[in-house]
Structures are given as C-alpha cells and as structure tokens.
Amino acid sequence: MRSSRYVFSLAGILLTAVVASALVGACGGSAGHLTASVDSLDFGTVPIGEPASRTVRIKNESRRAVLLTEAFPSCACLTAEWLGPRSLQSGEETTVRVSLVSKDLPAGKLSNKSLEVHSDDADVPVLVVAIHGEVISTLSVTPEILRVGADDAAGRGEARVVKLRTAKGYRLKIQGDIVASPPEWFQVGQKPVPDGIDLLVNVTKDPTRRGVVNAKIVIKVLVDGGKLPPRVQEVKLSIQGTW
C-alpha cells in the first residue's frame, strides 16, 4: 500500500509540473520581451554639418506578437527612420536608423540624448537607447582675443601665436591677404602645422603710442576635405589692451 501511495503521489507532482509549465507558456510568463541590439548608440566625433547615422535592431524576444507604435529621438537634432507602426512576431526584428543633424548645433558633447521605442509590450512598454557623441568645429581659433601692452609698442613684446585648427580629414588654407586694422600696427605671418595653421602676430615698434588698443585682424580661411563641400570662413581676431 505504501508503495502504491508513493507512486500516485509522484505522478501527481509530475502532472502538476506539466500543467504549470503549459500555463506559463500560454500566458507568456517570463519568456522575454522587446530588446535592442545595443544599450547605446555612439556617434563618436562629428564635424559640424557632416552627416552621421547609426542603426539599432529591435527584436521581439517574447512568445507573442508585439505592436511597435512609435520610435522617436529626444531632440530635434536627431531623426529616426523605421517601418512603423508595425507588429513584430515572436523572434522577429526590425531596424531603426538614427541620424544626427549637426548643422545648427554648437560644438560640444551630446548630453541627455536618446531614442525611445514605444510598444504594447507589457514588460517594456518604452525601450530607451542612449545616444552619445561629440560635435566638433571644422575651424577653431585660439585665442580669440589677443592682449597687448606698452612693452609691445616699445618692441619688448614677443610674437603672439594664434592657433587655427580643424577636424581630422580637413585642411585649412589662407585665402587672400591677412588684413590688420590699423595695418601699420601689426605684422602677421603664417606657419602650416599638421592639424591647421599657426598665425604669428608681431606688434610693430612705436614707443610713442598711447591709449586704449581696440584693433582687429581679419583672415579668410578655406576649409576643405571631409564630407562637406569646400567653403570660406571669415575669422575676426580682436586685439585689446593699453599702450
């Protein structure tokens, strides 16, 4: 009797386990959910105005169909291209192409940017993919203001170095004459360097100069290379101080 009771008890446990497993499968239990192929999209460094795109795959890991309703980025500087709204069957995936529109962005890191994918997934109704990167200028000037003083007018000052720099894959070339105003106060030379041009600014000697200095140097620079068409940018260098 004891042996038969043991057999019936074991059969009951096995039957309960089979029924529970079937119920979990039917209800979708902990059978996965909507997933992204990456946690974040990294655009790296992007020169202002250059096109840049990244792609993320969205997959339905659950046991039922999931309806994708929306896919949109968190700011106007990003666009999302996808085939939706649409239903994803179990195991099916789709792609979302995210593009960066950088022409109106200031130079700097992309912060608090993301892609949101909305669906009727009960576990993950909103799937968030972080977006990283940095927008860089194709022409930077350092410093933008030169300070001068009495030592410069007396001929005891040193040449100032102004660094014109560009992004990787681009080239700089001075177009036309470098215009100083007043022209008799400054002599400007140029020296090519691997990532741009160094301007060498010397103050011409005149110990009789007195007063506040408010001068400028204007340079037209051709920026060429990369994925953008060649273009001329005007650089205005301010010179301030007191003789």
CATH number at residue 125: 2.60.40.10
pTM above 0.75, yes or no: no
Region 100-118: mean pLDDT is 94
Residue 211: the pLDDT is 92
Give yes or no for residue 38 having a pLDDT over 60. Answer: yes
Region 156-177: mean pLDDT is 93
Alpha carbon distance 237, 141 (integer Å) = 9
Alpha carbon distance 136, 132 (integer Å) = 13
CATH number at residue 171: 2.60.40
Alpha carbon distance 189, 222 (integer Å) = 17
Residue 23: the pLDDT is 37
Q: Is residue 123 part of a domain?
A: yes
Residue 202: the pLDDT is 92
Residue 78: the pLDDT is 96
95 and 157 both lie in a single domain: no
Domain range holding 214? 140-242
For residue 158, CA distances in Å to 144, 148, 225 come to: 18, 10, 34
75 and 168 both lie in a single domain: no
DSSP string, 45-80: EEETT--EEEEEEEEE-SSS-EEEEEEEESSTTEEE
pLDDT classification of 19: cutoffs 50, 70, 90: very low
Q: How many domains is the chain built from? A: 2
